[in-house]
Amino acid sequence: MQRYFVSENLAVEDTVLLSAEDSHHLLRVMRAKIGTKVYLVDGASQLFVAELLEEVSAQARLVMLELMDTRVELAPHIAIACGLSKNDKLEWIVQKATECGMHQFYPLALKRDVMKWQENKADKKVERLTKIAKEAAEQSHRVMMPVIESQQNLSTFIKQTEHYTVKLIAYEETAKAGEHQQLKSQLLAVKPTDSIVMVFGSEGGLAAEEVEQLTQAGFVSCSLGPRILRAETAPIVFLSAISYQLEL
């Protein structure tokens, strides 16, 4: 069945209107008929079986039939912070990281970034990434849509992530130095109540002074193995390692 997200908190027998975009997909693309059943995730990450009741001014009205018991989310809250890679790469990271369980994404303006977001276009970039995260969450049968934060500099990011219990940096110089056990030891100690954030550079990597600033704020440099990974590959390797440690 198709899966859609809404922001409202719902209960069985409640009704809700899908957004214009989701209504178009259900009614025009999928050609759903009255009585068609879909999955619907509400604002509290509850999963319902819902039924199409009617079309109201080109919007689909659904009724909640049954609350499902589902456990598909990673227990620790996981945030990914990335420098601004080329547009298609950043979109790919958000899509695949959502499939792998990411909960939050921070686009960072770093010194060695290949791309720069113009201030008057930054909101559109976030909207685009949010749409990609939503579609990936639906496709991967998640019950939570990742939050895409606005672009921020490193100092602002450090303040916003002070509450995280595990703070890591993917730093290629650590890999070159042959240190490959730090990430493993960090993940072995992770508890379901933890919150994890990891910082990744763009194609240009992280500047030494940025790593120092993060380290002073309590972040720990880690290697993702003996090979140097592309900017778009590294976050997926990290999320896969968490999934292996906690889910498989």
Give tens-digit pLDDT for 205-236: 999 999 999 999 999 999 898 888 999 999 99
- Is residue 248 over pLDDT 90? no
44 and 90 assigned to the same domain = no
**Looking at residues 30-49, what average pLDDT do you find?**
97
59 and 114 assigned to the same domain = no
DSSP code of residue 26: I
Which residue is listed with tokens 């602002």? Answer: 156
93 and 141 assigned to the same domain = yes
27 and 118 assigned to the same domain = no
What local confidence, expressed as pLDDT, does residue 227 receive? 86
- Encode burial over 16-43: b for 16+ CB neighbours within 10 A, e otherwise: bebeeebbebbbeeeebeeebebbbbbe
27 — pLDDT class (breaks 50, 70, 90): very high
57 and 172 assigned to the same domain = no
Q: Measure Cα distances from 198 to 36, 109, 123, 167, 241 in Å.
A: 41, 15, 23, 6, 13
121 and 55 assigned to the same domain = no
42 and 119 assigned to the same domain = no
- Is residue 136 over pLDDT 60? yes
Among 68, 99, 117, identify where a domain stops: 68
Query: CATH number for the domain including 9?
Result: 2.40.240.20
62 and 81 assigned to the same domain = no
What local confidence, expressed as pLDDT, does residue 70 receive? 86
165 and 123 assigned to the same domain = yes
165 and 101 assigned to the same domain = yes
What local confidence, expressed as pLDDT, does residue 173 receive? 77
Whether the CB-CB separation of 110 and 207 falls below 8 Å is answered with: yes
Q: What is the domain count for the chain?
A: 2
Among 68, 97, 119, identify where a domain stops: 68
DSSP code of residue 237: H
- Is residue 123 over pLDDT 90? yes
12 and 121 assigned to the same domain = no
103 and 28 assigned to the same domain = no
**Angle ∠(166,168,170) on CA atoms, nearest 5:** 160
180 — pLDDT class (breaks 50, 70, 90): confident
Percent of the chain topping pLDDT 70: 97
The terminus-to-terminus CA distance of the chain in angstroms comes to 26
AA identity, residue 34: I
Query: CATH number for the domain including 104?
Result: 3.40.1280.10
Among 68, 88, 115, identify where a domain stops: 68
Looking at every residue in the chain, the average pLDDT score rounds to 94
Domain containing residue 121: 77-246
What local confidence, expressed as pLDDT, does residue 174 receive? 66
In this prediction the pTM is 0.91
**Looking at residues 56-83, what average pLDDT do you find?**
95
